[in-house]
Structure formats: structure tokens, C-alpha cells
């Protein structure tokens, strides 16, 4: 079975403009161009489009999708298994949030009394699951399953007050880090304050603290582009600056 751009657009539920863009960036080329100048897509391209849409649904950017699909090591069967696991995790997240909404509705209607812990349960689990999806393999490989499982359990058991303090601390950390960055000196007082706030932030989930582990995590912020992207989203260079500040704070050499 072969498809023109128009037919494939209707089949996949995406615009013809999107398909043409995928062609332009090299992520989905048509099998051939017919004598009338129409792009023609075969079964191979249909399967490739399915993979692209799977990854997009999971929040992966197009550049990353392109790198994966064009890699000589790409394995379709393994990718499908990975898709399935991630979709199951996503379904679990949605089930928790739906249950949380149902309880909230029942509470507002006076049918049940919902504890503060229950009100925030779904949000905390969502954060844990998102971190597992993005960084799970790396942090479990580095620190071990036991430590990560204990950390997740500690984070999940936070009270409403602790969760609110945690969110405020994240904002304070980033604001302090941005101000410290202006000094261009990771040993400055503002930079060391940011490093200490980072330690306090870790305390909400880490079952135990060590300077070595703190410095190791900071190193990952620069070595892993996903961590770097998080800290550098507002100001390029923040991840490296935080790493250097934490190295000084912990006394661990690079």
C-alpha cells in the first residue's frame, strides 16, 4: 500500500505541512517522487511515522527523535518495547491523578474527608515517575536501585507542609543561582549559598547525604545534556557554574 501526502495526512491525523517539514529536516523522506511530482510513501515510511508520533507523544523533541531513528544501532522491536513501558508508566501517572481528582471531588461534595497527604499524593508520584523516565537509568546505574528506591519513598512520604517548602526551595535555589552567576565566581558567597540550597533541596529526597554523591550529581549536570538543558534553559552556563560551586562547597576536586 502506498500513500500520497494527502492520504497519509488523513491516515495519521497530521497536517500535510508537517509531513513536508519532516521531509525537509530528513526525519521522514518519501519512498519516491512519482512522475507527477507527488511524494509517495510506502510501508517502511508508515512504520517510521508511527515511531516518530510515538516519541512525540512521550515528549521527545524532533532532533532527538531524528538522532535515534537514523542511528545504525536503532532496533525497531526494542524501541516498541520501550514505548510500551513508557506508555504503561504514563498510564499509571494518569490513573493516580484521576484517582486524586475523584477523591478531591468526593471531598468537596462532603462524601469523604481527604487528608492533606492524599491531596498531594498524585503530584509527588508524577514527579517521581517523570524523573524515572528521564534519568532513571543513569541515576540507578550510578547510585544503585536501593538508594534510589529509598529516595523515592522518602519524597513520596512528604507532608503537605514539607511539599510546599520543597517547591519554595526550588524557586529560591534557581533565583540565588542566577544572581550568583552574575559574579562569575563559583567560590563567591552567593554561589556557595546556592550550593548549600542545593544540598537542602537534596535532603527532601536523599535518604543520606555525602559530599562525594553531591559532587557526583553536580558532575552529571554537565556531562548529561538533559540535566544541562534543565539548568541552562533560562541562562546558558548555569549548569557548569552550579557544578563548580558544588565542587568548591564539598571540597571535591574535579
Q: What is the pLDDT of residue 68?
A: 84
* Separation between Cα atoms, residue 60 and residue 68, nearest integer Å: 11
Q: Is 219 exposed, middle or buried (CB count within 10 Å of its CB: 0-12, 13-18, 19+)? A: middle
Inside any domain, residue 65: no
Q: Quick one: 166 and 244 in the same domain?
A: yes
We report the CATH number of the domain holding residue 198 as 1.10.490.50
d(CA 29, CA 151): 45
Looking at residue 23, what is its pLDDT?
94
Specify the pLDDT at position 8: 93
Note whether 162 and 244 are same-domain residues.
yes
- For the chain, what is the mean pLDDT? 82
Greater confidence (38 vs 58) lies with 38
Spatial distance between the Cα atoms of 53 and 18, rounded to a whole number of angstroms? 12
Span 216-228, pLDDT tens digits: 889 988 988 878 8
User: pLDDT tens digit string along 124-176?
Assistant: 666 666 667 666 666 677 666 777 777 777 776 777 777 788 889 989 999 99
Say whether 19 sits in a helix, a strand or coil: helix
Are 106 and 149 part of one and the same domain?
yes
pLDDT score of 178 more than 60: yes
Domain count, the chain: 3
CA distance 155 to 143: 17
Instruction: Kindly indicate the confidence band of residue 57, based on its pLDDT and cuts at 50, 70 and 90.
Output: confident
Q: Are residues 165 and 254 in the same domain?
A: yes
Question: Grid coordinates standing for 84?
Answer: 510500551
Q: pLDDT band at residue 180, thresholds of 50, 70 and 90?
A: very high
70 in any annotated domain: no
Question: If we measure between CA atoms, which residue out of 227, 251, 252 comes closest to residue 239?
Answer: 227
Return d(Cα 197, Cα 199) in angstroms, integer.
5
Same domain, 17 and 52: yes
Does a structural domain hold residue 67?
A: no
In a shared domain, residues 126 and 191: no
Q: Is residue 165 part of a domain?
A: yes
Range of the domain at 46: 3-57
Amino acid at each position: 500500500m502506498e500513500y500520497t501526502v494527502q492520504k497519509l495526512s488523513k491516515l495519521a491525523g497530521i497536517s500535510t505541512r508537517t509531513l513536508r517539514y519532516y521531509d525537509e529536516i530528513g526525519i521522514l523522506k518519501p519512498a519516491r517522487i512519482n512522475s507527477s511530482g507527488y511524494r509517495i510513501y510506502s510501508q517502511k515510511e508508515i512504520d517510521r511515522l508511527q515511531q516518530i508520533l510515538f516519541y512525540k507523544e512521550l515528549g521527545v523533541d524532533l532532533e532527538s527523535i531524528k538522532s535515534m531513528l537514523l542511528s545504525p544501532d536503532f532496533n525497531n522491536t526494542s524501541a516498541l518495547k520501550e514505548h510500551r513501558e513508557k506508555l504503561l508508566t504514563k498510564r499509571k501517572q494518569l490513573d493516580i491523578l484521576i484517582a486524586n481528582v475523584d477523591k478531591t471531588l468526593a471531598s468537596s461534595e462532603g462524601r469523604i474527608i481527604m487528608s492533606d497527604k492524599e491531596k498531594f499524593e498524585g503530584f509527588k508520584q508524577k514527579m517521581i515517575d517523570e524523573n524515572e523516565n528521564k534519568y532513571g537509568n543513569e541515576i540507578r546505574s550510578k547510585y544503585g536501585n536501593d538508594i534510589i528506591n529509598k529516595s523515592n519513598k522518602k519524597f513520596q512520604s512528604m507532608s503537605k507542609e514539607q511539599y510546599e517548602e520543597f517547591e519554595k526551595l526550588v524557586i529560591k535555589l534557581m533565583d540565588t543561582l542566577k544572581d550568583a552567576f552574575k559574579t562569575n565566581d563559583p567560590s563567591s558567597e552567593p554561589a556557595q549559598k546556592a550550593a548549600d540550597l542545593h544540598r537542602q533541596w537534596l535532603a527532601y529526597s536523599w535518604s543520606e547525604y555525602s559530599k562525594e554523591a553531591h559532587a557526583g550529581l553536580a558532575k552529571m549536570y554537565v556531562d548529561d545534556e538533559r540535566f544541562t538543558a534543565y539548568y541552562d534553559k533560562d541562562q546558558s552556563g548555569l549548569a557548569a557554574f552550579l557544578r563548580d560551586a558544588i565542587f568548591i562547597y564539598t571540597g571535591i576536586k574535579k
